Structure 1
Amino acid sequence: MRHSKRASGSKAAPVTPKRMSIETGMMGNGHRRQLLEIVQAFQQFSRDTSEEEVVATFLKSAISMAKASRVRLIRNDGGNILVECEARRSQNNAIVVSHGRRPVESEGLFRNVFNSASLTYMPVFLGSTSFVQAQAWANPQTDTIDSPMLCVPVLLNEESKEILCLDTRSDTAPLDSTLVDHLTLLSAQAVMKRENLRLRARIALENRKIEEVEVALCANKRELAHMQRMSQTGSWRWRAATDTLEASSEFLRIYEISRERSIPSGKLINLTHPDDLPLVRIALVKAIAARRVFKLEFRIIVGFGEIKYVQVEGHPQTNDTEDLQYIGVTVDVTERRNAENALQAARAELARAHRLSTMGEMAASIVHEVYQPLTGIITNAEACLRWLSKSPAETARARDSARRVARDARRAADVFRGLRAVASNSGITKVPVDLDDAIREVAFLLQGELDRANIRLRLETAVAKPVLGDRTQIQQVLENLIRNSMDALLPVVGMQKSLFVNSASHDPAFAMVTVQDNGCGFGKHSAETLFDALFTTKPNGMGMGLKVCRSIVEAHGGLLQAERRERETVFRFTLPYIDGTSVNDIQN
């Protein structure tokens, strides 16, 4: 541990090996005592459990061996010279150890000591001694030494970051080379013990970290297994070299396979549904040959013939040895596929029910719309027969009745034609329609019934431009709305029964028709409920009139709405204008 070379120009005088060998053997009893103290210190080191205890034992043994007045362990901490620990003799000759870092006095002196120790790795004497005439390095004017001092470097990894500094007393025996050797041996053992404790502390810390990581890893594994169970997703790794899979517990649960370290791929192939097996084989062979990602969905047969749907996705992985591997997931999508199949079946059943409902609505609308012109035909035909059966026959009146029969027959034919167009999706034949004229015509046809029911009809027509649509269907809507108002006015007593029909421009693109009455209204039902199929407030109603009216208006590009006021019921519908300003403009 000591080297013979010294730094050039050094003021310290290391102990020369020649002079120290002369001193050896002259103090046999003292040396045996020192060896005994070293052995006792070593024994105490084995019992010390902290670095503080080791340092305290070290300083106590050193001060006892050297019979010094004070021993300090001084450390060079990044250029700062600090006293790390100190042992002193008290007045009753007891040894007192004090811990705690503090700045050292004569910092320049000890900095020179550290510089010398880092170059020579040998002890340094400061002041005069009995056998080595060594002088202090420091300037006597600034650094004075009360008594001779021995500084022994404490080596750690061939570095001297600490020195053991012993202050002698006046009655202290001369410092010899054997004492230096013993102190060096003691310091080496103390260093080893301190390093051992640090390593143990570091190992204990690492072990705690490893335990924490293992606990966290186990928790993550449990959480991952729980999440895979919840999502019905199993993970796996396939190795091409062995053609086996390493799979998670959820994967094994999906395939209903007992726990195995590695699963031959052939075992999984055997569980694939025979109808899906050829396509699965082809897709896997192509993906593996090209080393690309594959995504498959197929059926497997597990247990006692249970069929499951699984989704498989794999990604290629290649290591340094070119060993091809695939990692991926397998998801059990049986519930989703069953739900999709059930949804498709429900949609098919709903479509069938919708077709049946449409057929029923169509039949009801045919009956509803044709009933009125047929009733008119029967009534006018009977009237015609009565006029002809008189003697003499009243041919003029009979002729009027026959004309009305023809008119109602044409109306019935127009109704059939419109319904046939709707049923065949051929659309509506739209032509320019004078809306005000169509309203007046419907009012003229119903005037007789209005008079017999004592209902006062008031018309206000102010649409300057024609609308685009089917005149017969527009009049069909008007007649339905007016007849609904007439039915609502029949129970009214004690007040004037009023019916108001108005046409006006709603905005530059649409005309609006309003039918308003002061009848009994539609009760507590909502306005939108009136337009539901088969809903009616009439005892003998079919519940199709307003439904058909809304369909016709919407087919024309308009909107039909109902509104309930305090004592009035209002229906409004809009129809689009055509390009032009008047009927004459269109005809020209």
Structure 2
Amino acid sequence: MRNWAKSRTRGRKLHSTGAKARAGRASKSRADLERQLKTCKQEIANARERLVEATKQQTATSEMLRIISDSPLQSVLDAVAEHAARLCDSNNAEIYRLDNNVLRLVASYGELPVHIQARGGFPANRDRVIGRAVCDRRSVHVHDLAAEDSEYPLGSSDAKRQGHRTTLGTPLLRERTPIGVILFRRWEVRPFSDNQIALLETFADQAAIAIENVRLLEAEKQRALALAHANRDLAQREAKVRRLVDANIIGIFIFDLEGRIVEANDAFLQMVGYDQEDFIAGSVRWADLTPPEWRDRDERAVTELKETGTVQPYEREYFRKDGSRVPILIGSAAFDEQRGHGVAFVLDLTERKQAEAEARQSEQKYREMQTELAHANRVATMGQLAASIAHEVKQPVAAMVTNAQAGLSWLGAQPPNLEKAWQTFGYIVSDGMRARDVVDRIRDMIKKAQPRKQLLNINDAVREVIELVRGETMKNGISVHTFLTEGTPPLEGDRVQLQQVMLNLVMNAVEAMNATSEDARELLISTRQTERDVVLVEVRDTGPGLAPATLNQLFDAFYTTKPGGLGLGLSICRSIIEAHGGRLSAKANVPRGAIFEFSLPAAPDVAKQPAVVSAT
């Protein structure tokens, strides 16, 4: 009994100990369960958070893809900026494209103002967050950019000026190559979470693909559009060429560089006398149309066409079918970049060449007629000077007779005075040479000869004319004065023609002064050199002068103010001066009279002499 009691007591003790152990185990299991429950709740919260973020990302991505499906690139960029800002709860998002190591703003969304320099571009260096993200090819997260003066000097300055703080830059990568960056900013210091950063990086990867696809699609559209425009332009050009070919305004043929003429219009066929079948059959090539002396020029034209695609127009000849030749003007252009085919434009120059030949003949006849008129004018002037010429010749002849008689007397003296005889014979020789010079000048003036150019001194030519008219001026009581600048550059021209001009002007002045009753009759002839290597000759008289109304007609052919005059003298003078490259003009002399002056260019490449004035 006692043993049973002990056993029962021991049993109760054991039961109590087991209950306590079970209670301890139950309490431990509950704590574990609570911990597990808490862990499960955390995992559920995390999963829910990830689900929300994934939903946001999926929503943003879906919306972005919807916009991409039928939107231009700028709309896609704007949508990416907006959805990126909303996705991570940032106050601002900006997208920058990388172009030649410069980051340029292409889209923005949010409350912060756009930096004025952003559209111009920032260098892709490490002084700003966007540059650092591109350089490192990773996201750059700065909790307070305004406080990072040393790390981001320019970016920190921007943050202080604009008032933003937390900044995140996420690069846009295409096969690990940066094409841009998305910049996220918050007003306050509120860092982005790791999940937000991871979410934005995923979004950035998808955005980079989307942006690049849209860019490629737009580029392809532009290429297709450009190709369509090019095809349309080509069709229009072909239509224009076809209309030009069919219009037969000028000769046109299409050729290849192997020598075949593929097609030719009727104008070209008529030009060379062939039929279209001759070229289509290949029996006639464009080299067959070329005379031997033009084949080298043909080869140069082919080389020019291959190198530049065009051949500038040049003159040449073609053989006609009957063996005769046709002068032409030809130019050509290649059809395409391969330059295997080209089109040639051919103009028949037959009529122009005939007109040029006729013009040359007319010009020759005109020159011959002008020479005849000039000669007739000189002869007429010599007729007017007949008395003066007779006086000029009579003086040395009379002196020769007188000296000859004196010489005979000295020889007949006893004894003969040989010294005096020799002296008088010398006088005879001088007088004879003087008479010869007068005759030579007259002969030069009246003889009919072709113009010839030579270097001449204008002062010498003027002096010879003055000697020729000395008798006429003395007979009419005219004082002749000269003001000749020595050292004027030589002229290149026909001496006789220029002296004819001088003679005409002097004789006109003499006649004009004979028509006035004024006592003072003075003739001043001067020469001088202007600043532009031009020699100026002036003839001034004190006659009645020129009526202003006559100045415009004075040098016209057949216009004259003289009774019985033909009106050719001044017209011929003007033609002579203009043929020498000069100019003849007239104006009033103050206080009375007229001034006729002509200018002539100095001979080229002649050394200049210092000018000295010789006045008489």
Range class of TM-score, shorter chain: 0.3 to 0.5
TM-score, with length taken from structure 2: 0.40
TM-score, with length taken from structure 1: 0.42
Higher helix share: 2
